[in-house]
Amino acid sequence: MCKEYIGVIPPKNAQVGSTLKLKWLKEHMLTLPAKPTPQQLASHCKAYILGLIGGVLMSEKSRNRVHLIYLPLLANLDQVGQYS
């Protein structure tokens, strides 16, 4: 699921059941190269929003993980702001 939506497969120690550790997300997904490709930029944005969801909006009891159930909500991020 992570590969499909944010473009990477996190290591097993970054996942706890159906959650992803926010520390791993911050350390590995929130750094962009100086000139990112559109795919890198989209992955970065999705990871950043996932971090906001897990850390601020829908934080769980421990506040150090985010549920992967929110990833499909970020699938059509490129269509945000477009009008029909």
User: Is the pLDDT score of 67 beyond 70?
Assistant: yes
| Per-residue pLDDT at 3 | 79
11-41 pLDDT, tens digit per residue, is: 889 888 888 888 888 888 777 888 988 888 8
What percentage of the chain has pLDDT greater than the value 70?
85
Angle between helices 38-52 and 22-29 (to 10 degrees): 160
Length of the chain: 84
Confidence of residue 51 (pLDDT cuts 50, 70, 90): confident
Find out whether 44 and 36 touch, Cβ atoms under 8 Å: yes
Q: Where are the domains of the chain?
A: 2-76
pTM tops 0.85: no
